[in-house]
Structure 1
Amino acid sequence: MARTLRMKASGEEAYYHVVSRTVGGEFYLGDVEKERLLQVIRTYGRLYFVEILGFCLMSNHFHLVVKTRRCAEVTDAEIVERVSSHYGLSPDVVRLKDLAALREKLCDLSEFVRSVKLEFSRWYNRKNRRRGYFWGDRFKSVLLESGAALAQCLAYIELNPVRARIAERPEEYRWSSLSFRLAGKGEFLSWDGMETRDVRAYLAMVYEVGKGGRVDSKGREKGRIPRDTEKPVSLWRHKVRFFTDGLVLGSKGFVLDAYERFSQCIHKKERRAHRTAGVEGVFSLRRLTEAV
């Protein structure tokens, strides 16, 4: 079967929600593996021109929300510094390489995710003396608009542990960007594209998305939980497909603009922007045609 085309703003500044799952959905990722995976993500986040906005590492898949930089804004000096630091090479050696090719690679979302997955799978196979694929199908990516759509998507992935019933509150789950920010360990996480840069205000937003209504702007609990509500987060207890299976998420104008830019990849009947249930003012674009 032919692969579907990936909607990717190559060489441009853009935000994405990335999801990748283990082969067969196997629960390979324990605490040790999650720690290693996060180290790999951070390592390649320093090499590639990709900012990490959020993450959630689960037992059989991971979520990332990232921003790619515009290639034209990346200087030769930045490339030399990152490549020499990552590979332990002399800056003079790196300057002899094809910097234009390196610039294109280091700004590419697919190359970043491929490097993360390849590095981790090699480590896992060595550690467990196994062979074969670790990751399943190609990673999924959703093109996001900054602002409301980005914030809603980031909150959605922070709520994964609550949906999976492995945490009562999203901030209790160790392997998410929310817990790292609250613990003061989120220095590697970017706030770019978000309407707030305050972790308590962000926590309140996550609860608002979940319709818990239990945290104010300063992170303090307010009100009482209804007796028939066991968990503080109640709205997105089930998967919301447009966050992972959609193609574009944002305002109606952003979605329709994406259609014009990627029209060769999209079925004509999918031209309209679909209103997303439960998220005011956010629309989605769905389904790609098959590659030929």
Structure 2
Amino acid sequence: MSRPRSQQVSLSDTPYYHCISRCVRRAFLCGEDVVTGKSFEHRRGWIENRLLFLAQIFAIDVCAYAVMSNHIHVVLHVNEQDAKDWTTREVIERWHKLHKGTLLTQKYIRGEELPKAVMEMLEVTAETYRQRLMDISWFMRDLSEPIARQANFEDNCTGRFWEGRFKSQALLDEAALIACMAYVDLNPLRANIADTPETSQFTSLKKRVKSAKRAEQPKELMPFIGNERENQPIGIAFKLKDYFDLVDLTGRVVREDKRGSIDLSLSPILQRVGISHENWITIATQFESNSSSIVGAEASLKEYSHSNPKARPNRRCTRLLA
């Protein structure tokens, strides 16, 4: 029996989540329809642009993404403190970039003077918007609905475009996060639509490589900040070069189908998070199929089960990341 979304997303346990949305119709989200011969490849750009746009508005960082022919993967980080630090005006301005708001919020942004009682009502509305702007369900809704409308208009039809509500997996620790990111970035390689990770179109890795050539990191994505240290900024606590090396080595194994031909345990990241060579290969090729809605090392899963007694972590996940 599936668990309510409110129980799947628990910021007290982890701010990191892997989300997947799938297309329901035969006409793919992207790629070429083999029946009609019509290409929908341009829709991948729709998804990527919308995703990166939302990352600048929500208090949600994009760690990794891959836009495939009939589904999308995103790894998200909820920045709760960022949302709490926004002023009332900033919250409403952000919300108005996506939705009309109310008559009161529109008057407030125009600078009209409002009575004290009305301002109290406005503050309540702003708090509702603040919660939505750090809500993964709202993020995915604002990602998928405009794409569905565009696709329906282009296809000259109505009806459901997405399979249903998105699937969500909680990533409890560093091991789960880095494993999921690599899995997402290698999706085009595994699907044989790219020859190398860095040439995989419409992926976070492609965007990171492009920025790295200019000695930069893309502002739309959560940055790599190096190894953990005191007073470190918000970001992924690994070196970007280490991540590139890990994905490249893993990609070689996935493409050549020669598990064990490259000693991935030599990677600094794998040594740090405690994933063995054999387990890493399994994770990199079967992350989605072998994982439930909760992913992490054995210790993380035990801690999660104590704080969420109704949850039943998948035992296969425990063995994968132990």
Which TM class, normalised by the smaller chain length?
0.7 to 0.9
Q: What SS does structure 2 have at the residue aligned with 1:174?
A: coil
Partner of 1:83: 95
> Is it true that 1:187 corresponds to 2:219 in the alignment?
yes
Match of 1:162 in 2: 189
Question: Rg: which structure is higher?
Answer: 2
Q: For residues 79 and 107 of structure 2, what CA distance do their matches in structure 1 show?
A: 22
Distance verdict in 2 for CA 1:259–1:128, change over 3 Å: same
Change (3 A) 1:25 1:162: farther
Aligned equivalent of 1:93: 109
Q: Among all aligned residue pairs of Structure 1 and Structure 2, give the percentage whose two residues are the same amino acid.
A: 24
**Per the alignment, do residues 24 and 80 of structure 1 end up closer, same or farther by CA in structure 2, a change over 3 Å counting?**
closer
SS in 1 for 2:61: strand
Describe the shift of the 1:273–1:160 C-alpha distance in structure 2 as closer, same or farther (beyond 3 A): closer
Q: In the alignment, is the contact (CA less than 8 A) between 1:81 and 1:91 conserved in 2?
A: no
Residues 91 and 44 of structure 1, relative CA distance in 2, 3 Å threshold: farther
Task: Assess, with a 3 A threshold, how the Cα gap between structure 1 residues 201 and 237 changes in structure 2: closer, same or farther.
Answer: closer
Q: Find the residue that maps to 2:219 and give its secondary structure.
A: coil
Code of the aligned partner of 2:287: V
Deviates more, 1:20-29 or 1:149-158: 20-29
Structure 2 vs 1, CA of residues 274 and 157 (structure 1 numbering), >3 Å: closer, same or farther? closer
Match of 1:240 among 280, 287, 308: 287
- The counterpart of 1:53, out of the listed 54, 59, 63, is 63
Which 10-residue stretch deviates more, 88-97 or 11-20?
Answer: 88-97
Cα offset, 1:55, TM superposition: 0.4
Shift of 1:93: 3.5
Q: Which one of the candidate residues 65, 84, 90 is aligned to 1:73?
A: 84
Aligned CA RMSD, in angstroms, stands at 3.3
SS, match of residue 132 in structure 1: coil
Which one is further off, 13-22 or 255-264? 255-264
Out of 244, 252, 277, which is 1:203 matched to?
Answer: 244
Q: Which amino acid aligns with 1:22?
A: C
**140 and 25 in structure 1: CA distance in 2 versus 1, 3 angstrom threshold:** farther
Asked if 2 retains the 8 angstrom alpha-carbon contact of 1:210 and 1:236, the reply is no
Which of 143, 151, 158 is the matching residue for 1:131? 158
* Counterpart position of 2:29: 28
Higher relative contact order (CA 8 A, sep 6+): 1
The 1:25–1:11 alpha-carbon spacing in structure 2 relative to 1, beyond 3 Å, is: farther
Q: How does 1:265-276 map to 2 (within 5 A)?
A: 266-267=311-312, 270=313, 274-276=317-319
What residue is the counterpart of 1:43 in the other structure? 53
Q: CA deviation at 1:239?
A: 3.3
- Residue type at the aligned position of 1:251: A
Supply the distance in 2 between the matched residues of 1:19 and 1:25 (Cα, whole angstroms): 18
Partner Cα separation in structure 1 for residue 292 and residue 190 of structure 2 = 19
Letter in 2 for 1:79: V
Q: Aligned equivalents of 1:256 and 1:193: distance in 2?
A: 25
Report the secondary structure of 1:31's partner residue: coil
**Structure with the larger helix share:** 2
Q: Is the 2:61–2:76 Cα contact (8 Å) retained in structure 1?
A: yes
Secondary structure in 1 matching 2:66: strand
Determine helix, strand or coil for the equivalent of 2:17.
strand
Structure 1 pair 46–12 and aligned structure 2 pair: CA distance change class (3 A): farther
Indicate if the aligned counterparts of 2:28 and 2:69 stay in contact, CA closer than 8 A.
Answer: yes
Q: Closer, same or farther in 2 for the Cα pair 1:87/1:197, shift >3 Å? A: farther
Partner residue of 1:254?
A: 300
Gaps of 5+ in 2: 31-39, 111-118, 212-216, 224-233, 254-261, 268-280
* Conserved? CA contact 2:182–2:284, under 8 Å: no
